[in-house]
Amino acid sequence: MTLNRKPYLLQASYRPDAELDFDSYPFCIPAVRELESIKFHSDVTFFVGENGAGKSTVLEALAIALSYGAEGGTKNVQFKTTESTSSLHSALRLVRGPWQPRDGYFLRAETFFNVATYMDEVGYLGGYDNKSLHSRSHGESFMALLIHKLRGRGLYLMDEPEAALSPNRQLAALSAIHQLVKNESQFIIATHSPILLSYPGAKIIQFDGYGVSEINFEDTEHYSVTRDFLNNYPRRLQQLLSDENEA
Ligand SMILES: Nc1ncnc2c1ncn2[C@@H]1O[C@H](COP(=O)(O)OP(=O)(O)OP(=O)(O)O)[C@@H](O)[C@H]1O
Ligand SMILES: [Mg+2]
Q: How far is the CA of 170 from the centre of ligand 2 (A)?
A: 18
Secondary structure of residue 46 in the 3-state scheme? strand
Return the bridge partners of 29, or none. none
Q: In the chain, what are the domain boundaries?
A: 30-215
Q: Which fold has domain 30-215?
A: Rossmann fold (3.40.50)
For each of the chain's 247 residues, which pLDDT tens digit applies? 567 899 999 999 999 999 889 999 999 999 999 999 999 999 999 999 999 999 999 999 999 999 987 776 767 666 566 666 788 999 999 999 999 999 999 988 766 666 666 666 655 555 566 666 667 777 888 888 888 889 999 999 999 999 889 999 999 999 999 999 999 999 999 999 999 999 999 999 999 999 999 999 999 999 999 999 999 999 999 999 987 766 5
Q: How far is the CA of 1 from the centre of ligand 2 (A)?
A: 40
206 lines ligand 1 (CB under 6 A): no
Contact in structure between 236 and 229 (CB atoms under 8 Å): yes
Q: How far is the CA of 59 from the centre of ligand 2 (A)?
A: 9
Task: Name 83's Cβ contacts closer than 8 Å, sequence gap at least 6.
Answer: none
Element holding 30 (H helix, E strand) = helix 30-33
Contact in structure between 47 and 189 (CB atoms under 8 Å): yes
84 lines ligand 1 (CB under 6 A): yes
